Chains A and B, each alone.
Chain A
C-alpha cells in the first residue's frame, strides 16, 4: 500500500544549528500531515501539523513546509537543542471509508552534538 517515507535515517547536528528533516509521501489524497517526536521508551509526541490547503506553518522553533507538487514535507527546527534529540516521524492522514488512520514512515533519528 501507499506509505510515507523519509530520506535520511539519521541526522547529526551541532547544538545551536538549524535542523531540517525531510519526508516524502505518496498518497495524493492525503490532506492532513503531522510531525511527531518520539523519545526512547515514550509514545509519539505531537509537534506540529499542517493541512493540505497550506504550504507553511510555524510553531515555536519549528516550521513545517508542504510541497504538494512533489509530495514532500519537511520539518525545520531552529537553534537545535540537546533536548531535541529523538526520532522524528511524519504521518499522513486521509479519509478512507469513514476512518482517518495515520500512516507513518520509519522515522529519522536526530542527534544533537553539544
Chain B
C-alpha cells in the first residue's frame, strides 16, 4: 500500500506570494495533520482535520489555512509568505478514531524556500 504522499517535493517562492501544498493520506485514513519543521528542530503542529472538519489548530497566524476534501486528501495554504516560513512541511495521516490514541504516519514533506 502507498504511504502518505505529498506534492510538490520542493518549492521556491518569494516574499508576499502564496503557496498551496497537497497531501494524500494512507488509504483508509480519515484524519490528516500538518506540521512545520524548521531546520534543526522538531515538527510543530499546524492543523488537524477529520472528516473535512478542522479538529485543531496550533499556534500559527491566520496566513495559514487548510482544508480536507471528501476523499480525505488535504491542502495547506500559506498567504503573504515570509522568509521565516521556509521549512519542511509535513503531512501525517491517521485512522481517525475520535479521541483515539493512534499513530500518525508522515509523508516525505514539501520543502519550501522563501526568498
Binding site for B on A (CB under 8 A): 1, 4, 31-32, 34, 36, 41-46, 49, 51, 89, 91, 93, 95-107
Q: Are A49 and B103 in contact (CB under 8 A)?
A: yes
Instruction: List 12 other contacts, CB 8 Å, given A34-B103, A89-B43, A101-B45.
Output: A41-B108, A43-B109, A44-B106, A95-B99, A97-B56, A99-B48, A99-B55, A99-B56, A100-B100, A101-B58, A102-B43, A104-B43
Binding site for A on B (CB under 8 A): 4, 33, 35, 40-45, 48, 55-56, 58-59, 90, 92, 98-109
Asked whether A102 and B45 contact (CB < 8 A) given A36-B106, A93-B101, the answer is yes
Q: Across the interface, which residues of A come within 8 angstroms of B103, CB to CB? A: 34, 46, 49
Q: Are A101 and B101 in contact (CB under 8 A)?
A: no
A41 and B90 alpha carbons, distance in the complex (Å): 12
Q: Are B90 and A100 in contact (CB under 8 A)?
A: no
A103 and B43 alpha carbons, distance in the complex (Å): 8
The distance from the CB of B36 to the nearest CB of chain A, in whole angstroms, is 11
Offer 12 A-B interface pairs, CB within 8 angstroms, sorted by A. Answer: A44-B90, A44-B106, A49-B103, A51-B101, A89-B43, A93-B101, A96-B56, A99-B56, A100-B48, A101-B56, A102-B35, A104-B43
Q: Pick the 5 closest A-B CB pairs, nearest first.
A: A99-B56, A104-B42, A43-B106, A32-B101, A101-B45
